[in-house]
């Protein structure tokens, strides 16, 4: 590290092929032994004492003839206790006039056909028990109004707006 300059860049790239696929990149911790857990994998930008911290981008490349690659975030299976949790959380701030970070889920756009489908559901229960609870709620507030929940369909230029079904 140097004073007054940017730190060095660290880059990992796989090999290029003029006619076939580029090389595969595997970043993983190996399996644990007979006791213990497999190692933790941390993908994070560093902290800063003045200014914004770095951002983390995970994405697939653009495809000219074909479809872009999938991204899968998945918690593994276990055979003891409850399943592993997944947390996706936007940022918080202590700035007096700042708001918390936005959390947005959007499906893909198509220039000629339908946009992608968004499915938000709990899966079926096993042989005993109930299916998981689905909570769609705004948070509480100690001063002022709490957030509002909006469920609606989009505007249709030619045709009719979509239905909303609560059953």
81-100 confidence digits (pLDDT tens): 899 999 999 999 999 999 99
**The predicted structure's pLDDT at residue 9:** 87
Whether 1 has a pLDDT exceeding 60, the answer reads: no
Nearest Cα neighbor of 73 from 57, 92, 58 is 58
Q: Which two tokens stand for residue 58?
A: 């995970």
User: C-alpha dihedral over 86, 114, 56, 136, to 10 degrees?
Assistant: -40
Whether 167 has a pLDDT exceeding 90, the answer reads: no
pTM over cut 0.85: no
In angstroms, rounded to a whole number, what is the distance separating the alpha carbons of residues 136 and 133? 10
């Amino acid at each position: 590290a140097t004073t007054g300059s940017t730190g060095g860049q660290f880059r990992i790239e796989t090999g290029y092929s003029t006619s076939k696929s580029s090389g595969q990149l595997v970043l993983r911790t190996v399996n644990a032994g007979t006791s213990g857990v497999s190692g933790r994998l941390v993908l994070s930008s560093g902290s800063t004492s003045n200014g914004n911290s770095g951002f983390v981008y995970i994405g697939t490349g653009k495809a000219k003839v074909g479809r872009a690659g999938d991204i899968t975030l998945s918690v593994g299976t276990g055979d003891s206790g409850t399943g592993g949790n997944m947390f996706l959380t936007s940022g918080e701030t202590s700035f007096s006039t700042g708001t918390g970070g936005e959390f947005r889920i959007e499906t893909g756009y198509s220039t000629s056909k339908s946009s992608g489908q968004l499915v938000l559901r709990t899966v079926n229960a096993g042989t005993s028990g109930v299916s998981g609870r689905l909570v769609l709620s705004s948070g509480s507030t100690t001063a002022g109004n709490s957030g509002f929940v909006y469920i609606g369909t989009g505007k249709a230029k030619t045709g009719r707006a979509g239905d909303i079904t609560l059953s």
